[in-house]
Amino acid sequence: MAPPTARLLLRTPRLSLSTAAASLFSPPSKAVLYDQHGPPDQVLRVADVPPVELGERDVCVKMLAAPINPSDINRVQGVYPVRPPVPPAAVAGYEGVAQVHALGPAVTRPLSPGDWVIPSPPSFGTWQTYIVKPEHVWHKVRDDVPVEYAATVTVNPLTALRMLQDFVKLSPGDAVVQNGATSIVGQCVIQLAKVQGIRTINIIRDRPGSEEAKEKLKQLGADEVFTEGQLDVKNVKSLLGALPEPALGFNCVGGNAAALILKLLRQGGTMVTYGGMSKRPVTVSTSSFIFKDLSLRGFWLQKWMSSDKADDCRRLIDYLLGLVQEGKLKYEMELSPFDDFGLALDKALGKHGSQPKQVLRF
């Protein structure tokens, strides 16, 4: 029987490794680390990380791309409900796509060097150049889509898809309403609803460039787009024209933007809250409960993924990447070299005004 190192080399014929022994370790890596919670631009640092030994059933991957999500920022700040422990130093990042670099000798999953994989469910520590984790963490995905879509498919598109499916049984011709429509989740809601024949009513902020934002959303398939100011009228439903009153609403803003959704919902409608960008509470009038019988629900993707949903999660990710490949799902992002992490972080923090989602390219 061949020794472990020989078996590893037989399974990884395309690797360029200088010695057999080196194949049992990841290459040296660079990672974004933090030793304590706090403002990301103060506590995050890029540092060298030594090689990591591969266990029998471990897979070493080379990261290709990883986004900077708002939830990543919240984890570093220490305000997100789930976060990696610090100290010791934690590696930031939660989502991304990688390429298989090397396999432990007892790996049984059908993976080969060069395959694209994502951590599914997502896993802490994606902002580094090489990662070693057990084989069950990795889900092989198609490699015929832009790398930034494979890197971002889990958190935002999957949130949009689950919310459309989990709360109200919708049929073609029904309508949904959402605020935060220019967000990536909002853009995904528009396009995924269109695939299902569902109409969308979209609310955006009053700000310079709102007309341009409306046009972009309509090009994605939005049926109606209103600014918050346009909906500040007594008979708000008269603005819907021939559109049906929505049965389902999505709130990621809170405050007045949430109240506008409640005004538009039909009798017995449901509003799902999945974010609170305004940091203002959701306030509901007594009449909304008594006379409209509205329901208020919440959605947190991480809880859904941690409730024995791994197979469903991976199946839906494959479906979403299929829509990307078909040109039916797209959203605006900016690839930034990992070497320019500081600039990408500043853009993600809003220091350069409104910017597309930042995706680190390794």
Task: Dump pLDDT digits (tens) for 83-117.
Answer: 778 878 999 999 999 999 999 999 999 999 999 99
**Is 75 a domain residue?**
yes
For residue 67, which of 345, 271, 316 has the smallest C-alpha distance? 345
Phi, psi for residue 248 in degrees, rounded to 5: -140, 140
Predicted local confidence at residue 307, as pLDDT? 66
Q: What is the CATH number of the domain that holds 283?
A: 3.40.50.720
What distance in Å separates the CA atoms of residue 157 and residue 321, rounded to the nearest whole number?
10
Longest dimension (CA), the chain: 80
80, 149, 274, 319: the catalytic one is: 80
183 and 144 belong to one structural domain:
no
184 and 108 belong to one structural domain:
no
Predicted local confidence at residue 237, as pLDDT? 86
pLDDT interval class at 23 (50, 70, 90): low
**Is 323 a domain residue?**
no
For residue 133, which of 92, 98, 81, 158 has the smallest C-alpha distance? 98
242 and 278 belong to one structural domain:
yes
Query: Mean pLDDT across the stretch 122-135?
Result: 96
Query: Mean pLDDT across the stretch 51-69?
Result: 97
Predicted local confidence at residue 347, as pLDDT? 97
Share of the chain above pLDDT 90, in %: 81
**Is 316 a domain residue?**
no
160 and 144 belong to one structural domain:
no
- How many domains is the chain partitioned into structurally? 2
260 and 293 belong to one structural domain:
yes
33 and 52 belong to one structural domain:
yes
Known catalytic membership, residue 80: yes
**Is 196 a domain residue?**
yes
- Per-residue exposure over 59-95, b if at least 16 CB sit within 10 Å of its own CB, e if not: bbbbbbbbbbbebbbbbbeeebeebbebeeebbbbbb
117 and 35 belong to one structural domain:
yes
Question: Which of these three, 302, 321, 344, is where a domain ends?
Answer: 302
Query: Mean pLDDT across the stretch 2-16?
Result: 37
Provide the mean pLDDT of the chain: 91
Residue pLDDT, tens place only, 264-308? 999 999 999 999 989 899 988 898 889 899 999 999 998 888 767
Question: Which of these three, 261, 284, 302, is where a domain ends?
Answer: 302
Residue pLDDT, tens place only, 163-181? 999 999 999 999 999 999 9
130 and 107 belong to one structural domain:
yes
Predicted local confidence at residue 11, as pLDDT? 38
**Is 73 a domain residue?**
yes
Predicted local confidence at residue 49, as pLDDT? 96
175 and 140 belong to one structural domain:
no
Q: For residue 2, what is the DSSP state? A: -
Predicted local confidence at residue 1, as pLDDT? 40
**Is 164 a domain residue?**
yes
Q: What is the CATH number of the domain that holds 68?
A: 3.90.180.10
**Is 236 a domain residue?**
yes
- Find out whether 220 and 191 touch, Cβ atoms under 8 Å: yes
Question: Which of these three, 302, 320, 349, is where a domain ends?
Answer: 302
Tokens of 305: 């993924």
17 and 124 belong to one structural domain:
yes
Domain range enclosing 48: 5-152+332-361
**Is 36 a domain residue?**
yes
Q: With helix as H, strand as E and coil as C, how does 112-141 read?
A: CCCCEEEECCCCCCCCECEEEEEHHHEEEE
350 and 271 belong to one structural domain:
no
233 and 182 belong to one structural domain:
yes
